Structure 1
Amino acid sequence: MMRTTLCLATTVAALSLVSSLNLTNTARANDFPTQDIRLVIPYGPGGATDIIFRLISQEAERDLGVSIVPVNMAGAGATLGSRNVKDSRPDGHTLLGSHDTIALSKLAGMVDYSYDAFEPIALLTQTINIPTAHANHEVQSADQIADYVHENPGQVRFSMIPSSTDHFFWAQFFQEVGIDMADVRLVGYPDTGEQVSALMAEEIDFAMFNLPSGGAFFEDGTFRPLGVAHPERLDSLPDVPTLRELGIEMDHSTSRGIFAPKGTPQEVLDIIAAAYGQALENENLQSRIENEFGSVVRFLAGDDYLEFLEENEAALSAAAENIDFQN
């Protein structure tokens, strides 16, 4: 079973937090939920975000006593789904399962709202991001990228999906290692599949992947992981150092959580958070999240989640200063 020390620590913390979110008689007196819950996922079916939310929700509905019905609502850079939930009745029966894209969309000028347009319920998982090269590339680890760019100004190609997580990843990485954005070529692709194909064809030098998107290619040697943007090494990549081990003070992950429309009562938020926290105590579910999707379970709710989102948005805002969203 793939299990990082952080995962173990946060799972223990989750047990304590779930206990503090026990369903009280007062909350149950409100008779929530009174119907099935609609979980809007602002992406198409089959991706890591879709599957992870479905897996956890199937377990969480056992505690809630109603079905949690996933609704894929892709479009408009994941803002079609988020806007639908934002404008829904704040009664807890419509939720949003999303990640950092909520803040990214505002920073990119796509929408005029961010996390503060919702009631954050709980952080569930984090998928660790990994800078990657094709197997024939001369760069062997992430701490060599800056020198390679300085030796080949204007020639080094980095793939990204405009205004998405990897766009911000590279902006933050360049800032951390001292690379001038004017010295690199950012090549935009519509989706991860196109990026995989481009790196296979050696049309680009570097891409940002994670275990769901790149794990099979790391395993067969097609791609080379250059470092792990996480405080600790991943059990599935034990020989790949963290960026911090390489002298790059940077962590980066895709952080998935549950949100409700603004104004949803706190007792309802607590009931939902407790159900999802209880779901994440399931060891088989933890194993699937970690082994199949290269993610760590990290449950935060209440003020802890609010603080996490504030720090997350501040870091993304700093990275956005180095991004020209018009290009």
Structure 2
Amino acid sequence: MLNRTLIAAALAAATALGAGTAATAQDNYPDRAVEFIVPWSPGGGSDTLMRIISNNVEPFLGEPMPIINMPGVSGTVGLKAASERDADGYTIAQIHEGLLVANATGMTPLNWDSFEPVALMTSSPQYLVVNGNSDWTTFEEFAAYAKENPGAIKMGVTLGGVPHLHAAMIEDAIGAQFSYVGYEGTGERIRALVGGNLDAAIGDIASSKQFVDNGDLRFLAVGSGAPTSAAPDVPTLQSLGLDLELAVTRGIVLPKGTPEETRAVLEEALEELSADKAFVEQLGNAGAEADYRGHEAYAKYLTTLDTAIERLSDKLGG
């Protein structure tokens, strides 16, 4: 009886010690750097905007958040790696509409609900961009040529990604047919457009404005609901008579199974960051807007978006 009593007491003590250690680890979170997987190449819109988060979040989180670029297969390589990391709060990743499109088109079994959403952080209007030496100075000229010359326009997108969806929406709205050329990231296809290897591309302020300013590229239209402060003279697609609003929203997710308490720490830090004036200004300079939505609101947004993308995925021709 004595031996059983001693064994039971020892087990109880060990259980209590383990629970106490786990609670202490959780209470101390984070006590080291939180790795931030960005599943896209350096220099593109996602990389630029996520580095603004990385560079500004430490005062609110208490630890650094170093960027790790893991590009490949429309962002799915890095996200697969992120999904396989320990669910301890020390790995986060960035997603946008591209993951949902890749899932809807069968490119990956992963979807937004393969992760634990933390918060939506930024929104970036998307632009139709052409080479500065092209004959198209207006969207109307571009659309007329596209309709009269099916397949003649080489359009740079991320195949099976959001830029592909956005270009296909324009294509469908004007009754045209593009020839699609795939690139992994926004920066890569914009450089190809500057180099004359493409006729047009879907781009954003972060990747394209420097080339527009020096005359290498030209914005023909923007998918925002109103003209942007970064390029106020560029007409919106809606003002041109097309019922389209094209933007990329970027949010932060954790591996599935991360404790709710850990997620809440990150969520609070990101909410505080989103209200920081310097952070908001830096996003604006990069052509994006702060669009914070916490865990519940972000999950609701992704659910609604997933339904819409499923409905539109048949537009993604090769």
> C-alpha offsets along residues 209-257 of structure 1, whole Å, 9 cap, x if unaligned?
1111210222123322111111121112111121111111111122111
Quick one: which amino acid aligns to residue 238 of structure 1? P
Pick the aligned partner of 1:98 from 91, 95, 98: 95
Worse overlay, 257-266 or 170-179:
170-179
Worse overlay, 148-157 or 275-284:
148-157
Question: Which residue number in structure 2 is paired with residue 255 of structure 1?
Answer: 249
The answer to whether the 8 A contact 1:27-1:267 is kept is no
The answer to whether the 8 A contact 1:57-1:276 is kept is no
Aligned: 1:276 with 2:276: no
Quick one: which amino acid aligns to residue 35 of structure 2? R
Change (3 A) 1:204 1:317: same
Worse overlay, 113-122 or 275-284:
275-284
The answer to whether the 8 A contact 1:106-1:113 is kept is yes
Worse overlay, 167-176 or 63-72:
63-72
> What is the CA–CA distance in structure 1 between the aligned matches of 2:42 and 2:195, rounded to whole Å?
27
Question: Which residue number in structure 2 is paired with residue 238 of structure 1?
Answer: 232
Cα RMSD of the aligned pairs, angstroms, is 2.6
Pick the aligned partner of 1:171 from 160, 168, 171: 168
What are the within-5 Å matches in structure 2 for residues 289-300 of structure 1? 289-291=283-285, 293-300=286-293
TM-score, length basis structure 2 = 0.82
Pick the aligned partner of 2:213 from 204, 219, 237: 219
The answer to whether the 8 A contact 1:159-1:187 is kept is yes
Quick one: which amino acid aligns to residue 279 of structure 2? L
1:61: how far off? 2.4
Aligned: 1:83 with 2:111: no
Q: Flag the structure with larger Rg.
A: 2
> What is the CA–CA distance in structure 2 between the aligned matches of 1:198 and 1:278, rounded to whole Å?
38
1:115: how far off? 0.2
1:192: how far off? 4.2
Q: What runs of 5+ residues in structure 2 fail to find an aligned partner? A: 1-22
Change (3 A) 1:318 1:145: farther
> What is the CA–CA distance in structure 1 between the aligned matches of 2:43 and 2:178, rounded to whole Å?
33
> What is the CA–CA distance in structure 1 between the aligned matches of 2:230 and 2:79, rounded to whole Å?
33
> What is the CA–CA distance in structure 2 between the aligned matches of 1:97 and 1:202, rounded to whole Å?
31
Question: Which residue number in structure 2 is paired with residue 205 of structure 1?
Answer: 199
Quick one: which amino acid aligns to residue 268 of structure 1? T
Quick one: which amino acid aligns to residue 157 of structure 1? K
Greater RCO (CA < 8 Å, at least 6 residues apart): 1
Identity %: 27
Question: Which residue number in structure 2 is paired with residue 308 of structure 1?
Answer: 301
Quick one: which amino acid aligns to residue 49 of structure 1? S
1:144: how far off? 4.5
1:122: how far off? 0.5
TM-score, length basis structure 1 = 0.80
Question: Which residue number in structure 2 is paired with residue 43 of structure 1?
Answer: 40
The answer to whether the 8 A contact 2:158-2:183 is kept is yes
> What is the CA–CA distance in structure 2 between the aligned matches of 1:157 and 1:47, rounded to whole Å?
20
Change (3 A) 1:257 1:187: same
The answer to whether the 8 A contact 1:225-1:240 is kept is yes
> What is the CA–CA distance in structure 1 between the aligned matches of 2:205 and 2:159, rounded to whole Å?
21
1:276: how far off? 0.9
Q: What runs of 5+ residues in structure 1 fail to find an aligned partner? A: 1-25
